[in-house]
Structure 1
Amino acid sequence: MRKIILTMALFGLASSAFAGGYRVALQGVRQAALGGTSATQTHDASVAFYNPAGLAFVKSKLSIAVGGFGVQTDVKWQDATTMQKAKTDSKLGTPMYLAVSYKPLDDLAIGVSVTTPFGSSVTWPDDWQNKSNITHIDLKAFNIQPTVAYKFTDWFSIGVGFIYTHGTAKLEKVQTVAGNDIKLKLEDKNAHGLGFNFGAMFKPTDKLGIGLAYRSNVDAKANKGDVTWSNLPSGIASNVPFNTDKWNTVLPLPSEFTFGVSYKVLPQLELFGDVVWQNWTRYKSLDINLYNDASNTFYTSSSQKSWKDNTIIRFGAEYTFSNFIVGRLGYYHDQSPVPSAYWSSETPSANLNSFSAGVGFRFNSGFNVDLFSSYVKGEERHINNIEQNFQGDVKLRAINFGVGVSYNLK
């Protein structure tokens, strides 16, 4: 009997809002419009996710920020030798965020944010060539982060946050065994992990801002998820792994370091730039354990990943047309951490170039409304997965949009 290779990434995504791998970089509408630059922005409480030190520089006693995004991604694959091809038919991804901060003292800020840095969906055809790896994956993951920040001087602050990650995931795939298309579905509703982030912010002048931020590794653990087999021939239903009904795994989420600078070249024009480094080398392999306690059955499948660290370059520009309206433009280049030899269709990845624009409306009452849209283009690449014996040329693109609302009470 042919071995079923369970090469599944628990938080695999199809969203081209990636900041490398399966990280979704949409935790603030204003930041997204500015190419994802974030290390020095102190417009509202949403800065807590990006750089917790920024909360101390938010110019309000109470700040509330909430927003949501739409992410529509298309991934196309074709084998130039066989001319076989396939494309995804994924539903609209909907990342969101909510952040609240409060200053009990002028220099002390406390807050909490809820974000979805890992969350989307990808659906490939049931009959495509790599159906044994993936036909559908869906993720809903949330970060809950309490944060505290303190401003030691008028120009310097530090902040720290505690991260709790909770999520659900579902994977579906099809394996042909002895002429039968056997369907496998893995579900988990209680994946979780712990981490922290730390940041420092410097504003030595009214024009210049410098930000440093670090987000730690998180090991997302799925345990006692449900395993469902469909269309099993009676002759193999009692064999391993078809008699398993539970599964677990640990997915390593990378640490992330950000250095950012902002500068007001004119009273109306501010420029932003970030460099982001992500520690994807820790994602060396993914081990999936299937088991059945009643029959004392245990089965492990290991898939090599060997991902590489990557760097993201981000730029943004914001122009204030009046006290009421602000315009924004942004760009980022995101280098894929996934080698061709270990590229997998549950996490379609390529070097990305994103072009974004947005507009903000400021009201005297303290309310702000921000709009954003972007076009993300993946550089075409040839992939050749040596474990899955799967190759071809891959193209991907995405259209993203978002709406955010914030309220700052002086």
Structure 2
Amino acid sequence: MTINLTRRVGLLGIACAALMAPQSAWAQDSIKIGAPLSLSGKFVSYGAAAKRGIEMAVDVYGGKVAGKKIEVLFRDTQSDAQAAVNSFTQLLSQEKVNYLIGPIATPIAMAGVPAWLRAKALWIVPGATTPLLEEKVGKEAMFFHTFPYAYHYHASLAKALREKLGPGKTLAIIYSDDAYGREHLPYAQKYFAAAGFRIVAEELVRAGATDLNPVFAKIRRAKPDVLMGLVQTTDGITLTKQAYVQRLGVPYMIGTAYPQLKQWQDATGEAQEGWIGVTTYIPGLEAAADPKYPALFPATKDWIAAFTNRYNRQPEFVDVGAYVSTMMLLLAIEQAKADDREKVAAEMKKLDVKTMIGRGHFGPADGGTLNQAFADVVVHQRVKNQDAIIFPPEFATTKTLEQAAYPK
């Protein structure tokens, strides 16, 4: 028996349609979220933590949103700018995702900006403190920043220390000659001056310097009430240890992000006593569950218990930030009832939830970002190898500020 050509072509079309149908239906029944993260390289600790937070949020939500499967497409940026460009391009141009979460590290986020500007997916960044990112994309309606910028650190520090120490205090600043120190310096100057501090010394040090005695001699002559070290973690270790050994004698010592880090704490030992730092989350921070969504945003202690049970480790600030950011996105998708970036962005702007790191609500930032959340940074102090929370008031665990310790 023979089959004529017309019938053969018709059968072939039916067969092709049958083969294509499952893949097409599967694609339509899933919502893709791109996650360009440093899963290897020097920023791997950030990327690994963000991956944990994202995965936990998806699981807690139930794996589906707006009736569709949640598909997270993790891509390794390798802590490298060019690899980040490739990851962004692949997710946005090939996978055509409507939503991105990450990266965390500032240089990797900056590397992805040109590719993102061509596609403008809804982009959530739970990291990247540089205001350069704000200058590039802050005014974009699809950009949502869920981590403080560098200037937020200093706004919170200045406010907290003014409340605890009163007016008329003096400040000295040591800053490194790298991008970190030079970027933070003008923000420290601006916000501490606005809070009534008089800056009596500003000393530049070389990144990686091993002998800070010449700088300390100048600080001693200035006799400040407060000393701030605008340096990165390894230099923060050197500064902390040498200030202690040399009995610098400044009553109050401020770092930025490094006093929260285990690396700094393990390296500085008894020299860390009294140091003040800033972060978005720290052990001891306690928030109540969101009254409307307690299963998604439980009380901090309950969320920590669930995280610890899942990963057999304590959460870090990136774990919590990535979880909260992902959960807010999923809520917005659910409320939009569609895989539509414009509608989801509109719902993101309406969100107002209580999370483990404070109020989850987007509003304008001082530097021009349209959609900024979690700008109030937690100010804490190392006291007897623990963290006493100073600011904001709703999370404070102490009313007093301890002076830095020096050897007798």
Could you tell me the TM-score, scaled by structure 2's length?
0.28
Structure in which a larger fraction of residues adopt strand: 1
Higher relative contact order, chain-length normalized (CA < 8 Å, sep 6+): 1
Larger Rg: 2
Could you tell me the TM-score, scaled by structure 1's length?
0.28
